[in-house]
Each structure stands twice: as C-alpha cells, then as structure tokens.
A and B are shown apart, each in its own frame.
Chain A
Amino acid sequence: MRGKRLFIAVFLLPPLLLYGIFVVSPYAQAFQISGTNWSGLSPTYEFVGLDNFTRLLGDGYFWTALRHNGLLLVLLPVATILLGLFFASMISVGGRADRVGVHGVRGAGFYRVVYFFPQVLSVAIIGVLWKQMYAPTTGMINGFLRGIGLDGLAVAWLGDPRFAFWCVLAVLVWMNVGFYVVLFSAAMQSIPRDLYEAALLDGANRLTTLVRITVPLVWDTIQVAWVYLAIIAIDGFAIVQIITDGGPGSASDVVGLRLYKTAFADGRFGYASAIGVAMFFLTLTVAVMFLRVTRRERVEL
C-alpha cells in the first residue's frame, strides 16, 4: 500500500506544482490585482475597491472595443456556421443521387484538405499575410481590382475607419470556416443515407433537406461550434493587433487589445486586470447564455 501512495504522489505533484505556479496562481491573483491601483513601476499599491470597475463603466475606449467584440460575437458565428454548413452539406451529401444513393461530391477529400489550410497556420502568419493582402499599392486585393478595371474600388482598406473592422471580420471568417466544414461534414457522415433518399423521393429540394434533415441532426455540433466561435470572437487579439493594431483611431479595437495596451504600454496593471475580470465574466455569461438558448430536443435516430 505504501508503494501506491508514493506512486500517486510522485506522479501528481510535479504536474500540480507546474500548474499551480503558472496557471492557478495568476488566475487567482488577477481578481486581487483588479482591486488595486498598481502601476507596476512602484512596488507599492493601494486597494481601491471597485474603483477600477466604475471607471471601466465610463471608459469610452473600453465601450468602443466592447461594441466591436459584441459585433464579432453576433456576426462571426453566424457567417462561419452558415458557410460551414453550406460547404459541408455540399461536400457530404451534395453529390447526385443515383442508384447507389446520396453521397458527397467528387473531390470531397480534396476540399476537406484544402479548406483546412488556414487552421494549421499560426495567427501571426495569417495576420501578416492579410495585412499584405489589404496593402493599398502592393496588395493582392487592390491588384486584382485594378487588373479588372475597377480602379475606383481600390481603396486603402485598413487605413479607412469605415472598412478596417470589416476587413478584420473577413479574415476571422476566412481562417475559421475550414475547421467547421470538417467538423460538420464529420457529423454529417453519421446521418443515415436513406433519410435523404426518402426525402428526395418525397420531392424535397436541397434547401428543404438541409433545413429539415441535416441541421436538426447535427444540432449538437452546431451548438458546440457556436460556443467555440463566441470564445474566438471575445478574443480576436492577435489578428487585430497585427493587421490594424486597433486602428485607424479605435475603429477596430477589441477588449483583448485594450487590456494588452493598458498593461504593457501604459503600465496600468490594476486597471488592466479589471478589464481581464470583465472579459472573464463576459466569456462565462456568453457560454451559459448560448447553451441555454440553443438547447433543443435531441433528435434520436
């Protein structure tokens, strides 16, 4: 028996130590620091209670950033899931129905491999790549527009406050769609083919089969996708920081970038931690809310 105790201790203590120092203790300290006016420069600080949070409520920059995260929170999941479902259903069941039955399009494997490309690239590479794509004179997008004679549409995409946020949103959709195509088409593999054949015999068109058969049967997966995309939408830091750095002005600012700049550019660590706590509650609320809203009767097969 002593051997067992020793074994458990030897196997559990090193991971727990590492985890405790670098993960648990920072998370715990964050709440404490958020109640101080710590500037980082001075070793001393005072507890200011909820001052940071009341200041946060009146901080225009914070609200602008929060509004952008809010927009992302709605638009990113909707656009990504719709595109993902559309492509996945074409790949999995979009092929012709013939004697053999309903199945995927020709080259389904090819599409699944290619669509996934952005997923394996780091956010930094994607950010740098798209910054170049949007570049006013050297970028591929304006190069294309000029090439087909639409010089008037070639604008400074990232330098214009009207477009900057949408450019960022487009990149976030671009980099995420592929993963959900693969996820949804894996879920669709498990739907019995005869359901589609029966629907086709009854004269249902493709849109009807998608809405009436496919979506209800992969609803669980859509729900998971929604929560995960919401978490990406609350973050958004790397892409925004690299592509626009929140600019021009604060036209594409997000809360994560606000926190980073408040802490490591302005040295206001107490206030930055308060932003972190706000982000935590935002994430928690959104996760709980989505799980509530999207709860539905599970379709049993």
Chain B
Amino acid sequence: MTAVLTPVAAETVEEAASPSPRRTFSVFSHAFLIGWALLTTLPLVWAVLSSFKSDNEILTSPWGLPSEVRWENWVRAWGEAHIGRYFLNSAVVVTGALTLTMLFGAMAAYVLARYQFRGRRIVYFAFVGGMMFPVFLALVPLFFVVRNLGLLGTLPGLTLVYAAYSLPFTVFFLTAFFRTLPTSVAEAAMVDGCGHFGLFFRVMLPMARPGLVSVAIFNFLFQWNQYILPLVLMQGAGAENKWVLAQGLAALAVNEGYQGDFSGLFAGMTIAMLPVLIAYLIFHRQFQSGLSAGQLR
C-alpha cells in the first residue's frame, strides 16, 4: 500500500546512445509502444478536431481536418445543450461531497486509528466492509431511501450519497495512514496543553497531508466520473436541470443522434474532457499514485 504511494520513481537514466546488436529489437518494441500510444490518443484528438467541424464535414469526411475553427459549436454545446449547467452541477456536487468525504473520513479514521474504546473494531469493519459490496445491490433501496428523505433529484441528496459511498475506502486508507504517524509529536502537543480537538486540527491533519492528497485525488475522480448513482437518483420532474456532466453528456449523445447536431455533441464531449485531462497532464504523478492507491485496496 505504502509502496504504491511513493511517487513513481523519476525517469530512469536515459541510456548512452551506443549502437548495439539489440537495435532491431528496440525498433520492434518501439513500434508496439507507439502503436498503443496512438490508439489511446487518436480518439481523443479526433473528438477535439470534430468539435470544430461543421455537421457536413463530419458526415462526409470523418478523417478530414476542420476547414475553420468553429467556436460556435462550443458555445452552442455550453448554452443550448446545457453542458455549462451540467458542468456547474458536477462542480457543486463534487466540491461539497469531496469536502464532506475528507472531513468525515479523516475524523472517523483518526479516532479509529488513535483511540481505544469499546466497539472500535466493529465500527472499523462496518466502514471497511462497504468496499466488498457491489453498488448494484444497493440501487433499489437507495432510490427509496433518498426519495423518502425528499432528496430525490436534488443536488444536496446526490452530494450526501457521493460522500457516503466514498467513506469506506477513505476510512480504510486514512486509518492505516494515521497509524503510521509518530506518537511523540502528539504526546508533546498534549503536554503543552493541546486538547483533543486542537491536536487533530492543528497537529494531525497537517502531518497527514500526503495521505489526504492521495485519497482526495482518488475520491475526486471517483465522484466526478460517477455515472450509475446520478442516473438512478436524478429522476423525477425537473430533475434534468440538476443533471451532472456524465449523465447530461450521455443524454446529449442520444438526443443529438436524432437531431443530427454532431458538432455540438463533439464540442460537449471536448468541454467535458479537457479540464480533467489538463489537470492530469499537470499533476500526472499525483493522479497516478492517487489512483493506484485507490484501486489497490
């Protein structure tokens, strides 16, 4: 677990450019590597290029370049197709849910890791056990729980559900992390008259920062990319104004198929895709270690 957390080792030393009998193999292996690199990037590049095309260009030459840069596709997708609104909804829900997840997760994990009390193991396994169950098992009852609370089709409802479903992993990971922090610092702070609350907020949280960042990135991707939960919970009258990005985009794909606004669809896709891709390109080490930590549970 911790091994994965250490950022991927910096680039291995590039070899000296000495000719060698293994050259042919090197060319061969590079062909495969470049092949897969093209396979992962070309579809994305194609989507971005298509977002500038006219519908006619998309229909007649799928591989052609756009004849001019048509930002109006983006404007149409953002406004008329409501991608802007969905984007904002996603941002609101994920900001709230991520804050709640990190706060509640850190609180529970800290107590479970550092305090002895009756029922501690039961509480810990209740949290961690949630990782074993497929979310599909919960879908039907969850729909009714949220509806009975009057939260169906509302942003606060979705926020609470996202946070709740992020807790098992967050508690599991942060409990392990808080255990690794040295006890001497905590004891020194206590001697200096620091209370339990002060100790947590002023000493422990800052010390746990590397762990918190990893979990936060994992939770961000989990929540931002969520599809099944909003699909089930954002139903009912007027709910389409509250849709999140993933859901809105999928609905757009169905509708634009009928209406033939392909360029608008590609523009919407590009708008949805670019921010996370750019953030990833800037912070790719943190993303990769955060996600590996998250999936290696």
Contacts and interface: CB of A to CB of B under 8 A. Distances in A.
Interface of A: 3-5, 7-8, 11-12, 14-16, 18-19, 21-27, 29-30, 33, 83, 86-87, 90-91, 94-100, 103-125, 127-133, 137-140, 142-144, 147, 174, 177-179, 182-183, 185-186, 189-190, 206, 224, 228, 231, 234-235, 237-238, 241-242, 256, 259-260, 263-264, 269, 272-273, 275-277, 279-280, 283-284, 287
B130 A100 contact: no
24 contacts: A3-B196, A7-B196, A18-B160, A21-B149, A22-B145, A23-B164, A26-B141, A27-B141, A33-B141, A98-B20, A100-B15, A105-B33, A116-B284, A117-B44, A119-B291, A120-B287, A121-B273, A129-B47, A131-B253, A174-B39, A260-B136, A260-B231, A263-B139, A283-B133
A25 B145 contact: yes
B146 to A, nearest CB: 8
A125 B273 CA distance: 7
B140 A140 contact: no
A259 B145 contact: no
Interface stretch (B22-30, B68-76, B206-214): B22-30
Contacts of A105: 26, 29-30, 33
Interface of B: 3-4, 8-9, 11-16, 18, 20, 22-23, 25-26, 29-30, 32-33, 36-37, 39-44, 46-47, 50, 58-59, 61-63, 100, 104-105, 107-108, 110-112, 115, 117, 123, 126-127, 130, 132-134, 136-143, 145-146, 149, 160-161, 163-165, 167-168, 171, 195-197, 200, 221, 224-228, 231-232, 235, 245-247, 249-250, 252-253, 262, 265-266, 269, 272-273, 276-277, 280-281, 284, 287-288, 291-292, 295-296
Given A124-B246, A133-B43, A23 B26 contact: no
A123 to B, nearest CB: 5
A179 B293 CA distance: 12
Contacts of B123: 12, 16
Nearest to A137: B59
Name the 9 nearest CB pairs between A and B, nearest first: A143-B62, A124-B246, A122-B225, A22-B164, A29-B141, A26-B141, A26-B138, A7-B196, A15-B104
B140 to A, nearest CB: 5
A142 to B, nearest CB: 7
A32 to B, nearest CB: 8
B63 A147 contact: yes
Given A132-B47, A138-B62, A273-B141, A112 B287 contact: no
A273 B132 contact: no
Contacts of B235: 264
Given A16-B108, A96-B23, A111-B33, 7 more contacts: A111-B36, A114-B40, A115-B36, A132-B47, A133-B46, A182-B288, A228-B295
A264 B139 CA distance: 10
